[in-house]
Structure 1
Amino acid sequence: MRQAVLNLEESKIREVANAGFGRSDVLPFWFGESDEATPEAIRAAGIASLQAGETFYSHNLGLPELRQAVADYTSHLHSAHGPLGPERIGITSGGVSALIVAMQALIDAGDRVVAVTPVWPNLTAQPRILGADLHCVPLHADADGAWRLDLPALLAAITPGTRLLVVNAPNNPTGWTLSRDEQSAILDHCRRTGTWVLADEVYERLYYAGDTASGAAPSFLDVARPDDRLVVVQSFSKAFLMTGWRLGYLVMPADMTPQVGKLLEFNTSCAPVFVQRAALVAVQQTEAITPRIVAHLKGCRDALVPLLQAVPGVRTSAAPGGMYAFLRIDGFDDSLGLAKCLVAEAAIGLAPGVAFGPEAEGWLRWCFASKDVARLGEGVERLRRWLS
């Protein structure tokens, strides 16, 4: 086996979840997905496709009609430099596939890659798998539990020798979100250094600040030119409740798309047609689907965070984006040990902060995407009883 693979750590989120699997009494808030099923109209489109016998290969880059629909959808959200065409879109078998294909296209072994952390572990593991030289720039938590970017430190880390910047905003796990001014400053700097930007924006619709007309978080697409060295990763998982369908997409410069098509052939060949048919309905009916989901998630966040803040010793804040409360409990510095203890003794399943990088050691991630908001209150009460 390659040493880079042997050096990979197993998911600490899965390690905690494995400790609770098979226990019906555990309230599971560890994974980044809602417990609500995919909307019926989306499921019906997938079923209809299967019943119609659409069980064959599609184009490497996706169904033409889905690529056009995604281009129109993206243009509606981010049209600062005019509409995007389907030649800038590639459909992938999940957001994870979109990330690794983009990295395969852009980095060689030994290339310098800068990542903003803490972050979902796949974004730092994938460059390591490819043999890149990874440098992390940490976010910092203030006294209230809100996370901030040291922009000068990030810009200083991006040198002319930096091949790729990886940034996830709205961020998993902290909910931190880039401002448009910060995005402009980063993009201007990367133009000077010749650095590619890989922006994971899969949580952009799960945005609660309300300071954008589109109903989405600020995106690099709002400030970028079509020929910028920018690749944006998206997924149908979050805004359409389609985690198990495994479908994502890339927005990239048009001259990069055919090359990505080649890589998709050698990774997954293509995404399943019935999944793409379901996604087409999701995009076409987005205004009937996504705003309801976002409103419900905001209600979950606004119910959970004050309850957590009222627990003595707990520090957290209401993040502007994502589906997580990120919290710290006074006196506990071993997040993995604490998470396992909470499963065993309090029947609560949370993700350990250390899974997202050493900067998040001592923190816990609580996914608040719950169909039943009362479950969140029950979870807080279990935490309170355990602490007391």
Structure 2
Amino acid sequence: MTTNRELTYLDYNASAPLREESLFALQEAYKAAGNASSIHSSGRRARAIIEDARHKIADLIEGNPANVIFTSGASEANVTALSPTWLKNGEPYILTQVFVSSIEHPSVNAGGRFSAQNVQSIPVDEDGRVVVSELRSMLEKLGEDETVLVSVMAANSETGVLQPLQEIGVLVEDMGHILHVDAVQMAGKEPLSMAKIGCNSMSISSHKMGGPQGVGVLVLGKGDFRPIPLLTGGGQESWRRAGTENTAGIAGFAVAAAQSTDPDERARVCGLRDHLEERLYEISPDAVIFGKNVSRLGNTTCFAVEGISAETALINFDLFGVAVSSGSACSSGKVGASHVLLAMGVSESLARGAIRVSLGWATTKDDVEHFLGAWVKIYKRMKLTQKG
């Protein structure tokens, strides 16, 4: 079953391959010594790289460069934002609860620094979109002296479904609460404006858009309003995140952020995704594509066929030299029923068969055809097994 063909990588939502230009920026930064906190020329060079990166990343989301805080990744950024204490003009601002959508990434679902009893789940509809009327009802039930943090992702990593962020942003602001947006999957794949959403903070990850792993950002909204730092003990990032900045990683991140804004690249990837789905239905008419009736990321397809196990399918794809993922993978490596799909009302048996295909900057039509060729064989073999 194995072939000599190079691996077809279609798991960009897990981690995109490093862009060549980002690799070059990394290498150049690694060649030079220097701590960005030092005042000599080497330190000033490192500082210039970091400050230039702030502007490129802010441009990606229409944010303020001064409000870009570099972190070790989006999980750290999320946990930093999900704090029961923020600072408003330097004074403590207490948040009593956190409301998170039922389809969030584990770093958000866990509630960050809030205690478990102060974490509430916002329901989603059958398409995986937050039910805004339910969120409104939850906010209306709060006491007059309660202020909460609402955390809703921009786009889901499994289904690619986009959330009604502007509607949510207006609601949360009008009712006097705080909004955090995990934009890890959407940044660089779709136009994204922090200003239009009106959120108080947003998290982004470098490696989802072809930058290096191990670097991300938390971007703050307008005004002197921020969560208390997660990491303390140093004055880096204007006292908002202690620890020497990852200058090389930040350099690679900035290049990836700038390149991911190319509309031609986005349109090309979306065209490949549409072709994949059209052929997927021709091969397997009983396939269910999750979230297909609403706005989704142009690179993502999450599908399942009743009775076909994702775990078995993924093993077969790997033998054919195709890297895709399941809707949800447990830490043990076993494929479980996706909490995202279950929250959408998908049956557990169908959710256990979910396969996610995610494309990106280096994906070619040949890659898509290789995937489809492997799926033809896997589908036929597994359907025959069902009948037997």
Following superposition, the deviation at residue 102 of structure 1 comes to: 1.3
- TM-score, scaled relative to structure 1: 0.70
Q: 1:51 maps to what in 2?
A: 31
For residue 202 of structure 2, what is the aligned residue in structure 1? 232
Which has the larger helix fraction? Answer: 1
Q: 2:311 aligns to what?
A: 340
2:159 partner SS? coil
Q: How does 1:345-360 map to 2 (within 5 A)?
A: 347=318, 349-353=324-328, 354-357=337-340, 358-359=342-343
Match of 1:277 among 248, 251, 260: 251
Q: Please point out which of 301, 305, 309 is paired with 1:329.
A: 305
CA distance in 1, matches of 2:187, 2:150: 22
Structural mapping, 1:210-359, within 5 Å: 216-217=191-192, 219-224=193-198, 230-239=200-209, 241-242=210-211, 244-256=213-225, 259-260=228-229, 263=232, 265=234, 269-283=243-257, 285-286=258-259, 290-291=262-263, 293-310=265-282, 311-316=284-289, 317=292, 320-321=296-297, 323-331=299-307, 338-344=309-315, 347=318, 349-353=324-328, 354-357=337-340, 358-359=342-343
Distance, in Å, in 1 between the alignment partners of 2:10 and 2:197 is 35
User: How far apart are the structure 2 equivalents of 1:339 and 1:26?
Assistant: 19
> Any idea what SS the aligned residue of 1:320 has?
coil
Distance 1:331 1:352 in 2: 15
5 Å-filtered alignment, 1:23-172, equals 32-33=13-14, 37-54=17-34, 56=35, 58=37, 63=47, 66-67=50-51, 69-71=53-55, 74-75=58-59, 77-78=61-62, 84-104=63-83, 106=85, 111-127=96-112, 130-131=115-116, 133-141=118-126, 146-159=127-140, 160=142, 161=146, 163-172=148-157
Q: How far did residue 109 of structure 1 move?
A: 11
SS at match of 2:82: helix
> Which one of the candidate residues 178, 181, 187 is aligned to 2:163?
178
Following superposition, the deviation at residue 30 of structure 1 comes to 5.9
Separation in structure 2 between the aligned mates of residue 254 and residue 376 of structure 1, nearest angstrom: 48
Identical-residue share of aligned pairs (%): 16
In the superposition, relative to structure 1, how do residues 268 and 125 fare at CA in structure 2: closer, same or farther (>3 Å)?
Answer: farther
Aligned partner of 1:381 among 355, 362, 376? 376
Displacement of 1:292: 5.4
Counterpart of 1:174 in 2: which secondary structure?
coil
Question: 1:243/1:115 Cα in 2 relative to 1: closer, same or farther (>3 Å)?
Answer: farther
User: In structure 2, do the counterparts of structure 1 residues 244 and 223 end up closer, same or farther at CA, with 3 Å as the change threshold?
Assistant: closer
Q: Which residue of 2 aligns with 1:211?
A: none
Shift of 1:169: 1.5
Distance 1:342 1:301, change over 3 A: same
- Whole-angstrom CA distance in 1 between matches of 2:233 and 2:156: 26
8 Å contact kept, 2:229–2:241: no
Aligned to 2:185: 203
1:8-27 counterparts in 2 under 5 A? none
User: 2: distance between equivalents of 1:65 and 1:260?
Assistant: 23
CA RMSD of aligned residues (A): 3.8
Q: Does structure 2 conserve the Cα–Cα contact (< 8 Å) formed by 1:101 and 1:264?
A: no
Go from structure 1 to structure 2 and tell me whether the alpha carbon gap of 1:246 and 1:85 turns closer, same or farther (over 3 Å shift). Answer: closer
- In 1, distance between residues paired with 2:59 and 2:317? 46
SS in 2 for 1:269: coil
Contact between 1:116 and 1:138, CA under 8 Å: does it hold in 2? yes
Q: Deviations over 1:180-224 (max 9, x none)?
A: xxx3442333234432111112233455xxxxxxx604x452142
**SS of alignment partner, residue 175 of structure 1:** coil
Report the Cα offset of residue 100 of structure 1.
1.2
SS of the equivalent of 2:22 reads helix
User: Which amino acid is the alignment partner of residue 234 of structure 1?
Assistant: I
Q: Is the 8 A contact 2:80 2:227 kept in 1?
A: no
* 8 Å Cα contact 1:92/1:264 also seen in 2: no
How far apart in 2 are the matches of 1:258 and 1:151? Answer: 25
Write the letter of the residue equivalent to 2:201: V
Secondary structure, counterpart of 2:69 in structure 1: strand
Q: By how many angstroms is 1:130 displaced? A: 4.8
How many aligned residue pairs are there? 329
CA contact (8 A) 2:69 2:219 kept: yes
Q: 1:192 to 1:272 in 2, by over 3 A?
A: same
Q: Specify every segment of 5 or more residues in structure 2 that has no aligned partner in the other structure, as ranges.
A: 39-45, 87-92, 235-239, 329-336
Residue 236 of structure 1 contacts residue 243 of structure 1 at CA under 8 Å; is this kept in 2? Answer: yes
C-alpha separation in 2, matches of 1:345 and 1:261:
42
Kept in 2: contact 1:128–1:134 (CA 8 A): no
Q: How far apart are the structure 2 equivalents of 1:286 and 1:345?
A: 34
Counterpart of 1:238 in 2: which secondary structure?
helix
Greater Rg by CA: 2
**1:21-49 CA-partner distances (Å, limit 9, x unpaired):** xxx999775672456x3222221111111
Task: Tell me if the contact between 2:287 and 2:304 (Cα under 8 Å) persists in the aligned partners.
Answer: yes
Amino acid at match of 1:320: R
Which has the higher mean CA deviation after the structures are superposed, 148-157 or 164-173? 148-157
